[in-house]
Structure formats: structure tokens, C-alpha cells
Amino acid sequence: MSKGLLVLATHNKCKKKEYELLFKKFHIDIKGLSEFKRIPEFEEEGRTFKAIAIKKAQFASGLLGIPALADDSGLVVEALNGAPGILSARYAGESANDYQNNRKLLKEMRGKENRNATFVCSIAIAKPTGQVLTYTGKCSGIILNEPEGANGFGYDPLFYYPPLNKTFAQLLVEEKNRVSHRGQVMRKLKDDFENILIWLKDI
């Protein structure tokens, strides 16, 4: 059986590496948007992680004529009424980096006794026809008062995961994938993988 091709609708190389590790046993090749020329910027639309993931996957698949996978993930903090939520990547501004986003989160959390937070990841797989499959995973933790760890990206240094007594940034990629919101979603995909392959070929 020849390998299928799935476009990962992101330019994020760290995210692509995570997916490649998670998909390494799957009979499919993953390519990021950076491997294609003249890809226009996608303007995110939607009020939920799921809605945004669907829009991104349909955009990439429709543009390239290849099945595409997109995810939208973020941090939902109870004490901040769900913020940063769908704005997680640009919490401190449109061009904010991880350090700036983390610094703003720490500022907003000053004096908050409730440190509970949940990472959420919604994944959508779309065909060029517009048909789509969706999956969602969640992982609960606690926001620390200062960052710990040098691995990962985003809010990982502030997200403490009690079962392992570490932040996500203190975990190896393989360890993080076993417990993370994205890892949970990928296990759901793995369980349904044979059906997904059949579905992807039926274009």
C-alpha cells in the first residue's frame, strides 16, 4: 500500500516535529505549509478551538487539493474566565512571542488563588471536497508563579502537570505526548486510523 499524504496546516516546525513523532507508525507522510510555495496567510475565524481548526483544515486542503490536518489549541484558565483561550498564541498582542505571552499570563494571575487550567486541542482533517473529521483532547493542570523547564513551547513552562510532578517544559517530547491534550487527540486518531485512511482515499 502506497503512503498517503497529509498536509499539516501550520508553519510551526516544533508542532510538525510533534506530529511526525506521533504519526511515525502510521502509513502516511506529513508535510508542513513551509514545504509549499505561495501559501497565503490564513485569517482565523471562529469562537471555539474546533471551529478554527475546521476552517484552517478546509482552507489548506481546498487550496492545495490534498487532505489537510489542522489543529487549534490553547490554554483555558478558570480564574481568567477562560482566557487566554482561542487568543492563546497572541495573548500579549498579534506579534507576541512565547515569553511575552507567558509574562502577561503571570501578570494576570497575580493574587489569584485558583490556579486551575486546562490545555485544549481540537484537530480537524479535511478533504478538498470540504468534508471534515474532528477530534478533541484536554489536559488539566496548574499555573505556576514562575516558569520551570526549557523544553516545549507556548505556555509549557508555566503549566504544571500534577501526575508527573513536572511542568510540560520539563518533559521530553515523548513524555509530553503521552499525557498532553494533543497526545490524547492523536491516540483517538490512532484508534480510528484505518477508517481515516479509507475516508481519505475516498476523494
192 is catalytic: no
Instruction: Please report the DSSP string for the chain in residue order.
Output: -PPEEEEE----HHHHHHHHHHTTTSSEEEEEGGGSSS-PPP----SSHHHHHHHHHHHHHHHHTS-EEEEEEEEEEGGGTT-BGGGGGGTT-TT--HHHHHHHHHHHTTT-S--EEEEEEEEEEE-TTS-EEEEEEEEEEEE-SS---SSSSTTGGGEEEGGGTEEGGGS-HHHHHHHSHHHHHHHHHHHTHHHHHHHHH--
Dmax over CA atoms of the chain, in Å, equals 57
Grid cell for residue 54:
475546521
| Catalytic residue selected from 72, 156, 192, 202 | 72
Catalytic residues, which ones?
Answer: 72
